[in-house]
Copies of this chain bind each other. A is one copy, B any other.
Amino acid sequence: MAATLKDVALAAGVSIKTVSNVINDYEHIRADTKQRVMDAIADLGYSPNLSARSLRSGRTGVIGLAVPELSLSYFAELADSTIKAAERRGLKVLIEQTGGDRSRELEILSSPRLQMTDGLLFSPLGMSNEDADHLNVNFPLVLLGERIFGGPTDHVTMSNVDSARAATEHLISRGRRRIAVVGGHEGEVIGSAGLRLRGYRQALDAAGIPFDPDLVAYTTLWHRANGATSMRELLASGVGFDALFGMNDTLALGAMRVLQEAGLRIPDDVAVIGFDDLDEGRYSLPTLSTIDPGRDEIADTAVRVLQERISGRVGGVPPREFEARFQVIERESSALARSH
């Protein structure tokens, strides 16, 4: 059906290797030979068989991206950035959804199913630091996210502690002292929740505000529903607060919804800041202050680093850690209150 090197070679009256050389821009080819080959390629509508090329070269030009779920906006936007970054480097992206499930994550690390890729960008959610050993795999792997630190692979992450601290400081600078949190993970030390909580506490400490555990609402997932539920619990508990730090925008939006149902004004009664800079927060009512975690930079760095590892250019280099730059984005939900 499809034309092969052989067909082109026959049509152009040269050997298949010469056709191959033309395709791969080999230097020493006579101009007229090259032209004849190119014409034959065009005539026959030839395009290389990538499976054969992969088999021969050991490279597929495809990288894997394993994320919990694309229906979580953060990961959809991360996938978007990653695909664009990969494209700039001539790579395709094959997406794998783990559902944030630890056993599925481990399976992906050991499974032969991703043999079709040259390497993997891996954003675990269910795994924890004790699982770091499982990252010792025999294919190029770059770790994303905040579940595991000090593992055996390159790691690209956001500045969770610093940016959460900046978010909290932003609320404090608005005169708030009772700052509630939604999205905590009970007992977690590292992981997005643990790290962001640490940044939160650093900011409180620096401002001389005592930490009140009752202000922290714990939840397993970070969906809108969890933000809403947590906020209902906080309100029901009767603990007073004048600000809210949502561990991500989705949680914050779910919580805002409940706050407003309860008749509280934002930011007058409760100032709110989220985390992730989702497009959604630009059009919520009120618009949502947030942390821009540097998603494009993360994706670009991750793809670059993975490509370095694939090419073997950085063979002996020990695991590296990269932190993206963040930014506090102030919108209406934490604007200076009009009157006080």
Contact = CB atoms under 8 A, between A and B. Distances in A.
A97 B76 contact: no
- Which of A49, A92, A97, A283 gathers most chain B CB within 10 Å? A283
Interface in A1-33: 1-2
Interface of A: 1-2, 47-52, 54-55, 60-62, 69-71, 73, 76-77, 79-80, 83-84, 87, 92-97, 112-113, 115-116, 138, 223-225, 227-228, 253-254, 256-257, 260-261, 279-280, 282-285
Contact of A285 (B48, B97, B112, B285): B285
A55 B116 CA distance: 12
Contact of A224 (B52, B80, B282): B282
A286 to B, nearest CB: 9
A97 B83 contact: yes
A interface SS class: helix
Given A55-B55, A73-B76, A97-B83, A115 B257 contact: no
A97 to B, nearest CB: 5
7 contacts: A2-B138, A47-B115, A51-B116, A70-B76, A76-B79, A93-B95, A257-B285
B71 A80 contact: yes
- The quantity of this chain's copies bound in the complex is 2
A22 B17 CA distance: 36
A137 B84 CA distance: 26
Contacts of A69: 80
Contacts of A61: 116
Given A257-B283, A283-B257, A80 B60 contact: no
Contact of A94 (B49, B77, B93): B93
Contact of A50 (B93, B116, B283): B116
B52 A94 contact: no
B284 A257 contact: yes
Contact of A62 (B116, B223, B260): B116
Contacts of A96: 83, 92
Nearest to A75: B76
